[in-house]
Amino acid sequence: MKKIISAVALCLCFAATANAQEDKLVVKPSGRILLDGALMQSSNDKADEQTESGFNVPDIRIGMTATYGQWKAKADIGYGRSQLSVKDVFLEYDIDNQNLVRGGYFVHQFGYQSATSSSFKVSMEEPETHSAFGVGGRLLGVMFLHSDDKFLGTFSLYSDNQSFKKPANQTGYQGSGVMSRLVYRPKTQRGDLFHIGVGLNYELASKNRSNMKWTAPYPTRVSTLTAIGAQFDDAKSDFKVSPEIMIAKGHVGLETQYIYMNVNRKGDAPSYSAWGAYGNLRFLFNSEYTYTKNDAGIATPDPKSWELVAAYNYTDMNDGAIRGGKLSDWSLTMNYYINKYMIWRVSGHYVNAGGNNTGLAVTPDKNNFSVLETRLQIKF
């Protein structure tokens, strides 16, 4: 009997300890450092005057994540080029193992690229199509996420990012919108992945004079140069739709996404349409691709893995009298995943851009831009 009582008491102690651990506040520090170097040139004289090779530390971040039971909070502060900026700041509640609600200032899910951090793009920088249509930035809002074995669905309500930086009496009416990403994933086993999805976004314009603006940079952070772009002071709303496909078999993976945007303008002004697409063909030499469910995409490869990524991006922002410009980008990137905290990348891009009459690009004329760059990134 004493043995039984002792065993029961021991079990109760373990249960109490486990319950106490569940309710314990756990705080973890986080950080990131990007160390970049690049050689680049432009064929256009005006653009070449601002095209400077060199070294840069474009991003240093320090933050923390706190968890308590089903609650999670995160705050990140970034430092780059002598400026401090707020990154992710949000509070999250895990309803159960498949559902959560997140509120604050963060990147909401729309399309394949939106679920991964800017430093984890496999072609080193975000595809210009995703940058051009402004769907990858942080927004103040709330997002519901459902993720099970076969399906991911998100729904967001948000205000534009100026609402996080200025009081409402300075901004006037702040643009607002709804956003969603839906993904069906019948295959998520290691070395055998497939998903198909769509992103949807509808946004009402803010009250600012230039109330809607979209730009895409050349693919480097050592020099910051705008390649194409368009802006409006008479926009009423915009709508975006974005189908995506991901497939991976063993050592080979393919990621592709298309984005179409339509801007509804005031009065008799004609609507404006633009579109773009990209594809990443990935080769992982000494491991197989795996899947991350809450992000709905290929997970960061195993430590000590070598990867080669061939990518192409095309973006067309010309429509009628508005010539935002056209851009094509061919790239080849080598990624070495040193360990769980460090990645080394070497990337070459050849970009053809031009035809911009909005004054946003570094030059309105045709420009052939080439860059060879490397990055050591540390993230914990």
pLDDT for 80:
83
**Confidence band of 206 (pLDDT split at 50, 70, 90):** confident
pLDDT for the residue 33: 95
Q: Which amino acid is at 362?
A: V
Mean pLDDT lowest for which of 11-15, 84-88, 133-137, 204-208?
Answer: 11-15
The pLDDT-based confidence of 2 (bands split at 50, 70, 90) is: very low
Please give the mean pLDDT across all residues of the chain: 90
pLDDT of residue 16: 41
Q: What is the pTM of this model?
A: 0.89
Cα within 13 Å of Cα(35), Cβ side:
7
Residue type at 133 in one-letter notation? F
The pLDDT of residue 289 is above 60: yes
Among residues 322, 326, 319, 328, which one has the least CA distance to residue 358?
A: 322
Residues near 380 by Cβ (< 8 Å), separated by ≥ 6? 29, 30, 31, 32, 341
CB neighbour class for 8 (10 Å; exposed up to 12, middle 13-18, buried from 19): exposed
Does residue 214 form part of some domain? yes
* 3-state SS track over 68-111: ECCEEEEEEEEEECCEEEEEEEEEEEECCCCEEEEEEEEECCCC
Which tokens is 25 given? 């506040």
pLDDT score of 160 more than 90:
no
**Confidence class for position 15, pLDDT limits 50, 70, 90:** very low
Q: Is the pLDDT of residue 11 over 80?
A: no
Stretch 200-204: mean pLDDT, rounded?
A: 94
Predicted confidence at residue 22, as pLDDT, reads 59
Residue 244 lies in a domain: yes
Domain that holds residue 194: 28-379
3 state DSSP class of 59: strand
Indicate if the pLDDT at residue 183 is higher than 70: yes
Res 104: pLDDT: 96
**Is 1 inside any structural domain?**
no
In a domain, 7, yes or no: no
Q: Summarize pLDDT for 350-374 with one digit per residue, the tens.
A: 999 999 998 999 999 999 999 999 9
**What confidence tens digit (pLDDT) does each residue in 78-101 have?**
998 888 888 899 999 999 999 999
196 within domain boundaries: yes
pLDDT level of residue 278 (50, 70, 90 thresholds): very high
62 occurs within a structural domain:
yes
Q: What pLDDT digit, counting tens, does each position of 119-140 carry?
A: 789 999 999 999 999 776 889 9
What pLDDT was estimated at residue 93?
A: 98
What is the rounded distance in angstroms from the CA atom of residue 164 to the CA atom of residue 224? 24
Residue 230 lies in a domain: yes
Structurally, the chain folds into a number of domains equal to: 1
Q: What is the CA radius of gyration of the chain?
A: 23
Collect all residues with Cβ–Cβ distance below 8 Å to 76 and sequence separation of at least 6: 30, 61, 62, 63, 86, 87, 88, 89
Q: Name the residue with tokens 């076969």.
A: 150
The enclosing domain of 135 has a CATH number of: 2.40.160.10
pLDDT band at 168 (very low <50, low <70, confident <90, very high): low
Of residues 14 and 154, more confidence is placed in 154
Is the pLDDT assigned to residue 178 strictly greater than 70?
yes
pLDDT in tens, 226-261: 999 999 989 999 999 999 999 999 999 999 999 999
Residue 76 lies in a domain: yes
